[in-house]
Amino acid sequence: MHDDMPNHTSFAWRDKKWFVDTPENKQFPAAINLPEPFNRQESGLKHAISLTGEDGMFGASSGGKANADALYLLPYLNKGITVKDMHEVRNISHDDNGYQVNVRDIQNKRDYSIAAPKVVLAAGTMNTVKILCDSQDNKTLNLMPGLGKGFGTNGDCMATWKPSGGQYNSSLGTPVHGKLVVDGQADEVTILSAGIETPPMPAWLPNMLKNKVQDTGGNFQLVAMAPDDANGVVKFENGRLKLDYSIKENPVFEKVFSALDKITTQTGGKVKFDRKTAMTAHPLGGARIADSDREGVVDGKGEVYNNPGLFITDGSVLPRATGAPPTLSIAAWSSYVASKIIEKIDPQLINKPENKMITAIVTYKPDPSKTMEDVNNAFKNSIPLFSSVRGLKKKIYCFDEEAFQGTSVYLWESKEAAEACYGSTTFQEAFKKSFGAVPEITFIPALQIVEND
Ligand SMILES: Cc1cc2nc3c(=O)[nH]c(=O)nc-3n(C[C@H](O)[C@H](O)[C@H](O)COP(=O)(O)OP(=O)(O)OC[C@H]3O[C@@H](n4cnc5c(N)ncnc54)[C@H](O)[C@@H]3O)c2cc1C
């Protein structure tokens, strides 16, 4: 699939030998399929994104990209939720009935309060900490002694790289092109390559300036990350940010800088970055999960210490840096907190995970031109690929040499996961190439499993 994506790092630089080969299964997913039960129409996504045309990192005028608001909120608008757009939460007050969320309606320049028995705060790391600091300073929330601790930048370092010896257009493809790995790079360091899109420019701009801006399309943005010590402190005093965080006190940056320097020496294209100023697209912590209110702000279920009924579901709770793009970790936490809130309100409302596991029996007769060695090699080569397939719990390779017939038994988390794998062109093409055959697949629900050590 990634072969179709311009600039995708698993193949874009393969002729250059600059980077360690990073196959598709070691990459982050470049795109996420629309989650069930949302469909394209409901989500506002009109059609597939063009990876070679004008669609790029700033969006797609064709409607080929949708943002998370459209994907996740739109379907629920039809089910009765209310979204108050252009409203800014200023602070939160606790009273006998629960909470008052004090908001500013920006469009109509009006301040008012919304009462709620429970509140879930998800304003992002900086804004959640700001709202909590304001509320604590105004004594509208009970004291949170651990507020502000554990802030980190995820070890981020933004760099630009102009590859030598060619004209490249980095804006093509998905916004993030995938991971780049240089020889000797520390395991903790993740470097992503991203596109730089030339913004639309007004006609009156002198050509010299236009050319200068357009030239940036040949640069690639590199975003390096690594788990820092999350040892910073973030505070807001009278609404003003006070940040105590230093690159020097986070030794992991040496590894980040060294990896970026290696790209310069390896590729001959200068990687430019600032070694002194911390800069992040992934601020994390400040209202972290901890065992006590001294060390953090929320407990293991996301509820704010000393302020029952107030929950946090954004990056501010992460107790450690992910050292990688953090969105899915934040989403997983949010989903967990939501399930805990629902469970507390009414355990019956939680859909107990029904046993959806499925066994798939895959049988095939390899083409007679294949030898037993071919079969064994195909098995060996496929192990790393299957190790990272989503939803696959177990796979057993069986082969009857006498009948020259193969049977593989898979245990999947769900039939959807199994079908996504078997239906993919990657699976079908790899199978055909390995065995010269088309498999027969039978599904049987897995009801009970015994596992011995
Ligand atoms: C340019 C860029 C690229 C990135 N690329 C990636 C990537 O490829 N992969 C990845 O995993 N991560 C990426 N990230 C990081 C990712 O966007 C964040 O880590 C993630 O969105 C944080 O989620 P959150 O829920 O904590 O906060 P947010 O996503 O920031 O959500 C907070 C929301 O609260 C709203 N809000 C804030 N204050 C208030 C207020 N006072 N009242 C009302 N509403 C408020 C905001 O408008 C926002 O909608 C990127 C970040 C940037 C800046």
320 and 398 within one domain: no
435 and 385 within one domain: yes
* 126 closest CA partner among 8, 9, 232: 232
- Measured by CA distance, the residue closest to atom 30 of ligand 1 is 124
Can you read off the two tokens belonging to residue 404?
A: 């020259």
- Measured by CA distance, the residue closest to atom 50 of ligand 1 is 281
* 324 closest CA partner among 293, 289, 353, 284: 284
Q: What pLDDT is stored for residue 37 in this prediction?
A: 44
399 and 367 within one domain: yes
Assess whether the previous peptide bond of 37 is cis (omega < 30° from 0).
yes
- Measured by CA distance, the residue closest to atom 34 of ligand 1 is 123
Asked, for residue 292, whether it belongs to a domain, the answer is: yes
Instruction: Tell me the CATH number at 421.
Output: 3.30.70.100
Can you read off the two tokens belonging to residue 192?
A: 């992503």
Q: Is the pTM of this model over 0.85?
A: no
What are the pLDDT digits (tens) for 318-339?
999 999 999 999 999 999 999 9
144 and 292 within one domain: yes
Q: What pLDDT is stored for residue 249 in this prediction?
A: 97
- Measured by CA distance, the residue closest to atom 33 of ligand 1 is 123
The 10 Å CB-count burial string (b at 16+, else e) for 344-380 is eeeeeeeeeeeeebbbbebebbbeeebeeeebeebbe
- Measured by CA distance, the residue closest to atom 7 of ligand 1 is 325
Domain that holds residue 111: 84-150+286-345
User: How many Å apart are CA 325 and CA 246, to the nearest integer?
Assistant: 21
d(CA 340, ligand 1 centre) in Å: 23
Instruction: Tell me the CATH number at 328.
Output: 3.50.50.60
Task: Report the atom number in ligand 1 closest to the C-alpha of 68.
Answer: 29
Element containing residue 373 per DSSP (H, E): helix 372-387
Number of domain units in the chain: 2
* Residue tagged 């998905």 (tokens): 174
377 and 340 within one domain: no
d(CA 126, ligand 1 centre) in Å: 10
Asked if residues 312 and 147 have their Cβ atoms less than 8 Å apart, the reply is no
User: How many Å apart are CA 406 and CA 400, to the nearest integer?
Assistant: 6
Q: Which of 297, 313, 345 is the last residue of a domain?
A: 345
Q: Which of 345, 374, 389 is the last residue of a domain?
A: 345
| DSSP summary character for residue 62 | T
Output the CA torsion sign for 46, 51, 54, 56: positive
Task: Report the atom number in ligand 1 closest to the C-alpha of 316.
Answer: 26
Q: What pLDDT is stored for residue 213 in this prediction?
A: 67
Asked if residues 264 and 270 have their Cβ atoms less than 8 Å apart, the reply is yes
Asked, for residue 36, whether it belongs to a domain, the answer is: no
Asked, for residue 113, whether it belongs to a domain, the answer is: yes
* 332 closest CA partner among 320, 355, 315, 309: 315
421 and 385 within one domain: yes
Phi then psi dihedrals of residue 381, to 5 deg? -70, -25
* Residue tagged 């199978």 (tokens): 431
Asked if residues 84 and 103 have their Cβ atoms less than 8 Å apart, the reply is yes
Q: What pLDDT is stored for residue 81 in this prediction?
A: 87
Output the CA torsion sign for 374, 380, 384, 386: positive
Asked, for residue 42, whether it belongs to a domain, the answer is: no
380 and 303 within one domain: no
Asked, for residue 134, whether it belongs to a domain, the answer is: yes
294 and 439 within one domain: no
Q: What pLDDT is stored for residue 352 in this prediction?
A: 55
Asked, for residue 396, whether it belongs to a domain, the answer is: yes
Asked, for residue 424, whether it belongs to a domain, the answer is: yes
Element containing residue 95 per DSSP (H, E): strand 87-95
- Measured by CA distance, the residue closest to atom 46 of ligand 1 is 123
User: How many Å apart are CA 321 and CA 191, to the nearest integer?
Assistant: 15
Cα separations in angstroms, 338 against 268, 311, 344, 368: 49, 9, 10, 54
Asked, for residue 403, whether it belongs to a domain, the answer is: yes
What are the pLDDT digits (tens) for 77-120?
878 888 999 999 999 999 888 999 999 999 999 999 999 999 99
363 and 310 within one domain: no
d(CA 431, ligand 1 centre) in Å: 40
Which residues' Cβ are closer than 6 Å to ligand 1? 88-89, 122-125, 127, 131, 176, 281-282, 314-315, 325-327, 330
Q: Is 337 helix (H, G, I), strand (E, B) or coil?
A: helix
Task: Report the atom number in ligand 1 closest to the C-alpha of 326.
Answer: 11
Low-confidence ranges of the chain (pLDDT < 70): 1-4, 30-67, 197-200, 213-217, 347-355, 453
424 and 382 within one domain: yes
290 and 438 within one domain: no
419 and 364 within one domain: yes
Q: What pLDDT is stored for residue 5 in this prediction?
A: 73
Q: What pLDDT is stored for residue 30 in this prediction?
A: 63
